[in-house]
Amino acid sequence: MSQSRHVPVMLQQCLDMLAPALAGPEAVVVDCTLGLGGHSEALLTRFPEVRLVGLDRDKEALRLSGERLAPFGERATLVHAVYDELPDVLDRLGLPHVQGVLFDLGVSSMQLDEAGRGFAYAQDAPLDMRMDQTAGVSAAEVLNTYPAGELVRILRAYGEEKQAKRIVSAIVREREKEPFTNSARLVELIRNALPQAAKRTGGNPAKRTFQALRIEVNGELAVLERAIPAAVKALAVGGRIAVLSYHSLEDRLVKHVFAAGAASTAPPELPVVPERYQPRLKLLTRGAELPTEEEVAENRRAAPARLRGAERIREDVE
């Protein structure tokens, strides 16, 4: 796997967003989605005094990013963990608060580019899709064993697939003949199951089904629901969080957590708002920031990216 092919998405915007929080001495930043270490390398380079904690559930990603970040020595601590385990990781490292947190959600370039992982619908591969290949059920197991109603729910909820019933009917019919093992058969089935009109828009017709399976296999939205509030809680006052999302489900969840943190929770009739009701966050973006046209031209994987940020402005008051 060539690291030179890996281009971190919206890198400059992420660095600029986190910069005010990382300027001080002994600042700690957590890269919750280490991947191949592109964002982490840039953070360690731009902020020479910063200490980085990098998390990833993918052991191969940890190995490759470990090689990349080796020149930074003890400034980088890499941990095999899912990002909702952030509080436990910080506790083990004796870090009650951190100054910066970065999430780059979705599938890493390495996972997409490595044919054997089964994430990409453009090439035939075993239907695995686990980010941590040592745990959990594979996409093939989901396809072959889940009841039809549950598959329809997953495709609708996680893939926003309007043709979910039609696709699932075809899957159930085919899996009775022979279990699913490889991605090409699933892609072909989806193409054949969809009406012509549905195939004319939105790129590869298998895209939404593959997204839904990946989210289910890795429990991505459930993990994110726990991880974003935990990351906000871990921030010191003046600390900043930046989150890159790649589909509306993730972005909506991030937006909701940030908006709740930036709102007063006081009953409307109070003339003076006590501290415990005052906002804990200040939003750093109006809506979500988008990649530039130039970046999308250079790196097509940046196209769906949405960046949101927030700054911790107040401690939690019990």
Res 113: pLDDT: 47
| Residue 318 domain-assigned (yes or no) | no
Phi, psi of 115 (to 5 degrees): -55, -40
pLDDT at 270 over 80: no
Q: Say if residue 12 is in the same domain as residue 101.
A: yes
pLDDT at position 300 over 80: yes
Q: State residue 205's pLDDT score.
A: 83
Mean pLDDT within 65-84 = 96
Beta strand ranges found along the chain (DSSP E): 28-31, 51-56, 76-80, 98-104, 235-245, 281-283, 306-312
User: Which one is predicted more confidently, 300 or 281?
Assistant: 281
Last residue of a domain, one of 217, 234, 249: 217
Per-residue pLDDT of 227-245, as tens digits, reads: 999 999 999 999 999 999 9
Question: Which of 195, 217, 239 is the endpoint of a domain?
Answer: 217
Better pLDDT: 157 or 202: 157
Annotated binding residue at 37? Answer: yes
Whole-angstrom distance, CA of residue 291 vs CA of residue 310: 18
CB-based contacts of 38: which residues, under 8 Å, 6+ apart? 6, 7, 8, 11
Residue 111 marked in a binding site: yes
Per DSSP, the three-state class of 54 is strand
Evaluate if residue 1 carries a pLDDT over 50. Answer: no
* pLDDT of 10 above 70: yes
pLDDT cut 90: percent of the chain above it: 65
Binding residue per annotation — 246?
A: no
83 is in an annotated binding site: yes
Same domain, 46 and 69: yes
Q: Which of 23-27, 38-42, 196-200 has the highest mean pLDDT?
A: 38-42
> Tokens 């989150």 identify what position?
243
Domain annotation covers residue 186: yes
307 and 182 housed in the same domain: no
Amino acid residing at 220? E
Q: Is residue 56 annotated as involved in ligand binding?
A: yes
Q: Which residue segment(s) compose the domain that 203 sits in?
A: 115-217
Confidence tier at 163 by pLDDT (50, 70, 90): very high
Q: What pLDDT does 134 receive?
A: 72
- Residue 181 inside a domain? The answer is yes
The pLDDT score that the predictor gives to residue 7 is: 75
- 220: confidence class by pLDDT, cuts 50, 70, 90: confident
Mean pLDDT of 204-222: 89
Number of structural domains found in the chain = 2
Distance CA 150, CA 99 (A): 41
**Better-scored residue on pLDDT, 112 or 73:** 73
Q: Between residues 297 and 134, which one has the greater pLDDT?
A: 297
Answer for the pair 251, 305: CB distance below 8 angstroms, yes or no.
no
121, pLDDT greater than 90: no
